[in-house]
Amino acid sequence: MRPTIHWYDYITINIYWFALTTRSQALAPLIAPLLVQRFVGEADKGTYVGIIRLWSLMVAVLVQALMGMLSDRSALRWGRRKPFIFAGTAGELVVFALIGFIAGMEGLAGFWALFAVYILSMIFSNTAQSGTQGLIPDLVPDDKKGRFSGVKALFELPLPLIFVSFVMGKLISTGNLWGALFVLMAVLVICVLVVMFVREQPLQKAPGGVVWEPFLRLLLMTAVFTAIILVMGAVVNQIMGMALNLSQYASIVLTGLVGLAGMGFAIGFGVWSSIRISIGPAIREHSSFTWWVVNRLTFLVAATNLGVFMLFYLQERFDEFQGQSAAGPAATVVMFVGIFVLLVAIPGGWLADRFGKKSLVAVSGFFAALGTFIALIVPVITGVYIGACLMGAGVGLFYSVNWALGTEIVPPEQAGRFLGLSNLAGAGAGAIGAYIGGPIADNAGYGLLFTIYGVLFMLSTLALRGVDEEGVQEIRA
């Protein structure tokens, strides 16, 4: 039986999302890129960031699935979820301390130490996340899940993004890495202590043995997806090497076209192979679902990696933002994106009901592309901030409507199985855009890479042509 809901449960059940987003927005766009730049230098920084992103995200997919399965079957006295949140937090505290010491290293030794610790961070954070995302389904009655999800959105997006901008960004931009790490530790400790007040009822008896078949299927999908990304990365790098013999203009154009084609192939073939492994020959009967995943992955490849490489783009574009001083404006960009995500996501559901989900998803790609190109064209930092606002509007609209569109497309009796593929799409987005995109930026500049991301936003809207929203609705009617 679920306990009676009190006002403070809205905080205790949701507060750890603040810790998870603060961690991700401090590490991925700010701390990790600066350390990689310090270890490997200017020439190869994008490539090495891509290496970290690829392998850490693939690990994250598997760890989150495995820990979710284990927490579902936990009969510990603390409850099903809290032990995983506590264990993940304890591991992260060790990781943050290690990052502080690794910052004093030099060269490739420092990079590979950071790589190993970053992988550990993904293991621990996804262990904690697997427990956190089970709290609302476990403890909240159906008639209150909407309100709890609204509070969750507040803790998950605008609050941590604003906090990172005003606190973490300022500390990192002044070179106070240890100060930023201590703040991260304090955030995790405070949030996990609050979560411990959640009133979980432990399972009286553990369920039967773990069903490994879904995890093994995910393992195979992840391996195939990773192989596709590695192969396309190698192909793009090979052709870029050949392009060096051309004129500067021809080399940039060829690099851009090859990079776009490589990411597009990795998206299309990666989605097709993943769905084929998951649902088999029935893939022919679910073309709308396949195109929905293509739309989702294409959009997220651009949206995710614009944040990852924003710091390097600002360094390249503006002479006044060199080294760690770019962390401040990069954090401000994150803040503007977060604010407009919140402003647009709230009315997004109403707009989707009035104008149609597919149409609104297409509009989200247009807004995000427009914001990207404004950030590229306007020659002052204010242009980047204006572009960030439009990108945030596009991302907010996408997140509020795209998932709802997906839930209409999938077969109701197999919704969990089908929608579970979106987790691989989310991780694949970060991996494709960074692993293939990093070397492109190292060779031809971050302006070209951001142009590719802007084009991907537009291509995501074209993928919607394969989504037959009305046909699905007629069949169900």
In this structure, the answer to whether residues 156 and 237 fall within a common structural domain is no
Q: Assess contact for 416 and 362: CB atoms under 8 A.
A: no
CA gap 66, 433 in Å, rounded: 25
CA gap 36, 368 in Å, rounded: 28
- pLDDT band at residue 473 using 50, 70 and 90 as cut-offs: very low
CA gap 394, 397 in Å, rounded: 5
In this structure, the answer to whether residues 107 and 251 fall within a common structural domain is no
- The string of pLDDT tens digits covering residues 8-20 is 888 999 999 999 9
* Residue with more model confidence, 404 or 276: 276
Tokens 């009286």 belong to 204
Structure tokens at 50: 């891509």
- The string of pLDDT tens digits covering residues 345-360 is 778 767 777 777 888 8
Tell me what pLDDT residue 477 has.
Answer: 36
Q: Which long-range contacts (CB under 8 A, 24 or more apart) does 180-185 make?
A: 180/26, 180/31, 181/96, 181/97, 181/99, 181/100, 184/22, 184/23, 184/26, 184/96, 185/93, 185/96, 185/97
- The string of pLDDT tens digits covering residues 38-82 is 999 998 999 999 999 999 999 988 888 788 878 877 777 777 889
Structure tokens at 334: 């994150």
Q: 246 — phi, psi (to 5°)?
A: -90, 175
User: By C-alpha distance, which of 27, 42, 54, 53 is closest to 312?
Assistant: 42
Tell me what pLDDT residue 185 has.
Answer: 97
Last residue of a domain, one of 211, 243, 276: 211
Q: Which of 274-278, 320-324, 457-461 has the lowest mean pLDDT?
A: 274-278
In this structure, the answer to whether residues 207 and 226 fall within a common structural domain is no
In this structure, the answer to whether residues 268 and 374 fall within a common structural domain is yes
User: By C-alpha distance, which of 105, 457, 467 is closest to 289?
Assistant: 467
Q: Assess contact for 317 and 447: CB atoms under 8 A.
A: yes
- pLDDT band at residue 141 using 50, 70 and 90 as cut-offs: confident
In this structure, the answer to whether residues 154 and 276 fall within a common structural domain is no
Does 1 have pLDDT greater than 60? Answer: no
Q: 199 — phi, psi (to 5°)?
A: -95, 85
Tell me what pLDDT residue 290 has.
Answer: 86
Last residue of a domain, one of 160, 176, 211: 211
Does 471 have pLDDT greater than 60? Answer: no
Does 149 have pLDDT greater than 80? Answer: no
Tell me what pLDDT residue 476 has.
Answer: 41
Tell me what pLDDT residue 474 has.
Answer: 39
Q: Which domain holds residue 451?
A: 212-477
User: What is the per-residue DSSP string for 269-285?
Assistant: HHHHHHHHHHHGGGGGG
In this structure, the answer to whether residues 219 and 206 fall within a common structural domain is no
- The string of pLDDT tens digits covering residues 403-438 is 778 777 776 656 556 666 666 667 788 899 999 999
- pLDDT band at residue 459 using 50, 70 and 90 as cut-offs: very high
Domain count across the chain: 2
CA gap 185, 423 in Å, rounded: 27
Tell me what pLDDT residue 419 has.
Answer: 64
User: By C-alpha distance, which of 372, 363, 389, 388 is closest to 461?
Assistant: 363
User: What is the per-residue DSSP string for 115-133?
Assistant: HHHHHHHHHHHHHHHHHHT
Q: Which amino acid is at 386?
A: I
- The string of pLDDT tens digits covering residues 210-248 is 667 777 877 888 899 899 999 999 999 999 988 888 888
In this structure, the answer to whether residues 249 and 206 fall within a common structural domain is no
Tell me what pLDDT residue 161 has.
Answer: 87
In this structure, the answer to whether residues 100 and 221 fall within a common structural domain is no
- The string of pLDDT tens digits covering residues 155-167 is 887 889 889 988 9
Average pLDDT (365-377) is 96
Give Cβ neighbours of residue 88 (< 8 Å, ≥ 6 apart): 124, 125, 126, 127, 128, 129, 131
Any idea what the CATH number is for the domain that residue 207 is in? Answer: 1.20.1250.20
Last residue of a domain, one of 183, 211, 239: 211
In this structure, the answer to whether residues 183 and 320 fall within a common structural domain is no
- pLDDT band at residue 133 using 50, 70 and 90 as cut-offs: confident
In this structure, the answer to whether residues 141 and 191 fall within a common structural domain is yes
Q: How far is CA 276 from CA 62, 216, 272, 284, 323, in A?
A: 19, 15, 6, 9, 45
| CA 212 to the chain's CA centroid | 26
In this structure, the answer to whether residues 235 and 117 fall within a common structural domain is no
In this structure, the answer to whether residues 95 and 216 fall within a common structural domain is no
Does 376 have pLDDT greater than 80? Answer: yes
